Structure 1
Amino acid sequence: MRPIRFGIIGTGSIAQRFFAGLMHVPNATVSAVYSRGGAKARQFAAVHHIPSVFDELDDLLASHIDAVYIATPHPSHAALSIAALKAGKAVLCEKPAATSLADLDEVIATAQAAGQLYMEAMKPPFFPIYQLIRERIAAGAIGEVHFVRAGFSNPNVPAGHAVLDPAQAGGGLLDIGIYSAFLAVDWLGAASEVHTLGRIGVSGVDTFASLNVQHEHGISQLYCGLDIAGSGEALIGGSAGYVLIHDKWWNPAKATLVTAVGEREELAIAPIGSGLNYETAHFCDLLRSGELESPMMSHAKTRAALAMALRARETLLGIAQ
């Protein structure tokens, strides 16, 4: 396997987790890091022994890297992805891939025109336990899937956090809610109707949302919030049973499969590393093989999940106005 050299854009907590996960990905390294102003990048590089530090994006993109991992605030994702793709670099971009469908469509069109790999870093489907669940369902363990229920709500967000800042595209829907939107799309297809109840908090972001959604192949019930407590379980319901993925389902380690006649099967695979290593390993394999899109995290799934979250968000913002 040829080595894959990453350049990290951004130096926050998710970038720290990405670096930690990379220790578990064969033949992949971080060769460079960039942040505006450069001070945080230099500190990050010193801690992690990264050889190259840049305080200009163009210099990072002109360097000898194969791909970038984008770990910056939500509103910058699309523009950074487009710049990297135009510079001939593959892109692994943190969720959400963009904050509007128009921006996402431009990213995807740029990737296709440039002939470069682009993938949203949506981690759940790459965990080993999720892969096992997919195998069991594909083998007919719970029949045909027609229902998904998932969500999480965390009231312990500290004041000043980016998720509470409307200028940073904050709110529960584009933060933790995008995971549940992906889960629903992954099993049920794109949404045709999105019915939303919820509220906007004092800072102007969605602090709670409850969604009932009609999809191509079934119905989902989803919720996310920033001001009440809620468990992080997910249920995938089929015509002959269901799978319950235990808290926190987006970092899945345990699940229970129950058939229609009451037979139970406990599934458990403890993840290694930070968990981000699974999506990164998949991305590296795609890059080595010359693929331009992931079959597991396709551009269509990224778009369908974002469209769903944005429709719900627009509903709540419209009600608030």
Structure 2
Amino acid sequence: MPALKWGLIGASDIAATRVIAAIRASGGDVVGVVSGSPERAGDFAASHGLARFTTDLDELLGWDIDAVYISSANVWHYDQAMGALGAGKHVLCEKPLALEAAQAEEMVKLAEETGLILAANHHLPGSPLHAKTRELVAAGTIGTVLSAKIAHAVLLPERLRGWRLGQGTPGSGVILDITCHDASVLNPLLGTPVAVTALAVRQAEWNTGGQEDAAMTVIRYENNSQAPVLAQTHDSFTVGYAGTSLEVHGTDGTIQVIDAMTQDTQGQLVLTTGSGVRSVDVDCSEDLYVIGLRAFTAAVDGTGVPTATGRDGLMALKVALAAQESATSGRTVHIN
């Protein structure tokens, strides 16, 4: 197929550091960018070799482009995605897809009705480590799955300590930033999330925005007639000296994935069963965003599916919103 022509909605850090290069590596062409600030839009276009820039979303949607990548503030995702889909553009949207599940449902429905691709830019489900974990679980290698645990406690870089921690900023906080990534990994692995219990706190002295920067959750999963599965997550912006990991425990074994939850995943998968402990070879050499952009391109071509579909993004959002509500209310929240 011809190279996908892309427009960027948002002159963001993630677009600059990850996604532009991934689009180009996957064979795509980035035409231009829209940003609320003309100076930022112009500087961003110049820095990344983009031919066009604008402050008008409708102008961008009128360009000769096939798809948009949305990485603006979370509060704008819904309106911008609906506008892009309405203009006949495929959409790759940063997580969370929206700030309300009903909005994300509308996005998914419109994409399905128009035959366009809507995907969430959850980079982790496409990781070869997580793909191999799903493969081992599906093959029954560890028997019936009983529980899972994710450690996703990291130190938020100083350059990103802005809107993510603003108490009055819609879509801020560690849960919508990190816990939804956990859900994007756990959901396809464990089944249907049905209930969430969570606690969230503010820990860092440098966190002057007031929003919670650390959270723990317990999520109940159900999968057909099997026994329920419990998953635990620890998500944080405040931990500087720990690796990330995923553990999956079954009746016949345990899978441990070391360095499992970062953008640069050079991790290790260890399988423990009655036969002993062994490392499972996994090629982690490819950039996760390139994997995701290649899958998105294949989906547009009709030869594949995104690593995280719009519906996958919706379910990850539902888990995160339930965790937020639980942390605020002190109650277990059930997911519809």
Q: Same fold (TM over 0.5)?
A: yes
The residue correspondences of 1:199-210 to structure 2 (distance < 5 A) are 199-200=201-202, 203-210=209-216
Task: Name the CA distance, whole Å, in 1 between partners of 2:145 and 2:285.
Answer: 25
Task: Name the CA distance, whole Å, in 1 between partners of 2:52 and 2:111.
Answer: 26
Change (3 A) 1:214 1:132: closer
Task: Name the CA distance, whole Å, in 1 between partners of 2:28 and 2:156.
Answer: 35
Partner of 2:334: none
Contact 1:121 1:279 in 2 (8 A): yes
Deviations 1:91-150 (A, max 9, x none): 000111111112111211222233311011111121233333333333333233332210
Deviations 1:159-190 (A, max 9, x none): 85221013142111111111112222121122
Deviations 1:285-321 (A, max 9, x none): 0001188xx47524443222211111111122335xx
Per-residue deviation at 1:84?
0.4
Change (3 A) 1:283 1:156: closer
Deviations 1:246-280 (A, max 9, x none): 1242443322222233231233423334x211111
Partner of 1:69: 69
Task: Name the CA distance, whole Å, in 2 between partners of 1:151 and 1:77.
Answer: 28
Contact 1:171 1:205 in 2 (8 A): yes
Contact 2:270 2:277 in 1 (8 A): no
Task: Name the CA distance, whole Å, in 2 between partners of 1:215 and 1:20.
Answer: 36
1:170 aligned counterpart, secondary structure: coil
The residue correspondences of 1:157-306 to structure 2 (distance < 5 A) are 158=158, 160-166=161-167, 167-200=169-202, 203-217=209-223, 218-229=229-240, 230-251=242-263, 252-254=265-267, 255-273=269-287, 275-289=288-302, 294=305, 296-306=307-317
Contact 1:172 1:207 in 2 (8 A): yes
Contact 1:206 1:316 in 2 (8 A): no
Task: Name the CA distance, whole Å, in 1 between partners of 2:290 and 2:125.
Answer: 12
2:76 aligned counterpart, secondary structure: helix
Change (3 A) 1:154 1:69: same
Task: Name the CA distance, whole Å, in 2 between partners of 1:34 and 1:9.
Answer: 5
Residue 322 (structure 2) pairs with residue 311 (structure 1) = yes
Q: Which amino acid aligns with 2:220?
A: Q
Deviations 1:31-57 (A, max 9, x none): 121111332222222122212222210
Change (3 A) 1:280 1:309: same
For structure 1, the 5+ residue unaligned runs are none
State how many pairs are aligned: 316
TM-score scaled by structure 1?
Answer: 0.89
Partner of 1:139: 139
RMSD between aligned residues: 2.4
Task: Name the CA distance, whole Å, in 2 between partners of 1:256 and 1:227.
Answer: 27
Q: Which amino acid aligns with 1:164?
A: L
For structure 2, the 5+ residue unaligned runs are 224-228, 331-336
Aligned identity (percent) is 26
Q: Which amino acid aligns with 1:312?
A: A
